[in-house]
Amino acid sequence: WLDDADEEERSAFYEELYCLMRDAPIIGIACVVDRPGYNHRYYERYGRRPWDLCKTAFAVAVERAAKCAIERGRKLNVYPERCNKPEDRLLRAYFESLKSEGMPFDTSNSGKYGPLTPEQF
């Protein structure tokens, strides 16, 4: 329907959408992983068996959200988008690992970021 709207209607829609997002009482958190940089950094250590990028992005995004919740004295609920049974099992395993083992990164490299402990998750 937006394609059929005139310029004035389209502009009004986008302005209202912007205001809705700006005023919503939510915080958006994202994680972007540079695949070429990631591959270059870890190829020597892991060869052709590096971590899945989704595990890295999941751990980083959940930790950022958890730190934000802790800072605000809130509880965090994580609801990843459902996909298929194998992928859903992987995400559940990533999350359970965070709660039982903490961040999956080498502490000598990640210590400067103040990774959360399993108890904090």
pTM score, whole prediction: 0.68
The DSSP string of the chain is: -TTTS-HHHHHHHHHHHHHHHHHSS---------HHHHHHHHHHHHTT-PPPHHHHHHHHHHHHHHHHHHHTT------PPP--HHHHHHHHHHHHHHHHH---S-HHHHGGG-PPPTTT-
pLDDT in tens, 35-48: 788 777 777 777 76
User: Span 45-59, mean pLDDT?
Assistant: 75
User: Span 98-114, mean pLDDT?
Assistant: 83
pLDDT in tens, 73-105: 999 888 888 889 998 998 899 999 999 999 988
Given a cut of 70, whether residue 70 has pLDDT beyond it is yes
